[in-house]
Amino acid sequence: MAPDTREKILQTAARLFLEQGFSATGVSTICREAGVNSGSLYHFFESKDALLVGVLNWYEEHLDPIVMGPIEHAQPDPVERIFALLAWYRGNMVATECRLGCPIGNLALEVSDTHPQVRPHIDINFANWSARIEAWLNEAGDRLPADLDRRGLSKFVLTVMEGGLMQARASDELGPFDDSVAQLRAYIDALLERARPTGTTQRTEETSA
């Protein structure tokens, strides 16, 4: 009968780190918003840094059930799934008026250098994300060129997502994100075209010969 105090602390900290950043968020604020005393927080986490690791583990555990799972279920086509995922992040930016962005990306730039013991946990989150993209690319089989570096392309998709979100937040406009996704679409369309047997054309999905 473990209390949900720990979970409440994790979710509150995750939200505040996303809204304000790690350094700018005080432990006292986390306690107040979680409705918990500092002694309880330090019962479950030995330091603010340990709490940050807990938050990153929380994200690692919830990527599939919250993000990847629903998208895989909603979009059967592995290539379109990539753009459905990017559209999911776009939807978050619309809902927040170009705020927040990606919690892992934010922490990556804030603490990778200063907290070397935390960095690997950020790395794992990114690795899991792009590994799922790589699996989708493999699922696409010979619709993509045989000599394509699918692992490299999977990291490229993450690059596009993070870089697009960054510029969207900086400009307070979705334009740069949409521009980036459009360029990625053009690139992947060119890859699909290159892998297509000569003499065939395709405009909508599931058309062959």
Partner DNA sequence: TATATTCTTGATTGATCGCTCAAGTAAGGA
Partner DNA sequence: TCCTTACTTGAGCGATCAATCAAGAATATA
Which residues bind to a copy of itself, rule: CB under 8 A?
Answer: 19-21, 23-24, 99-101, 105-106, 108-110, 112-114, 119, 122-123, 126-127, 149, 151-153, 155-156, 158-164, 166-167, 169-172, 175-176, 179-180, 182-184, 186-187, 190, 194
Helix or strand holding residue 60 (H, E):
helix 48-62
> Which residues inside 108-127 make contact with DNA, applying CB under 7 A?
none
Query: Closest by alpha carbon to 59, among 158, 135, 126?
Result: 126
Give me 118's structure tokens. Answer: 């935390």
| Three-class DSSP category at 69 | helix
Task: Report, in this order, helix, strand and coil percent for the chain, each rounded to 5.
Answer: 75, 0, 25
Residue 2 or 209: the one with the smaller Cβ distance to DNA is: 2
Does residue 25 touch DNA according to CB under 7 A? yes
> Taking the complex as a whole, how short is the minimal distance between the CB of residue 66 and DNA, in angstroms?
25
Alpha-carbon span 85 to 82, nearest angstrom? 5
Partner in contact with 87, chosen from a copy of itself, DNA, none, beta carbon below 5 to 8 Å by kind? none
The smaller minimum CB distance to a copy of itself, of residues 6 and 150, is found at 150
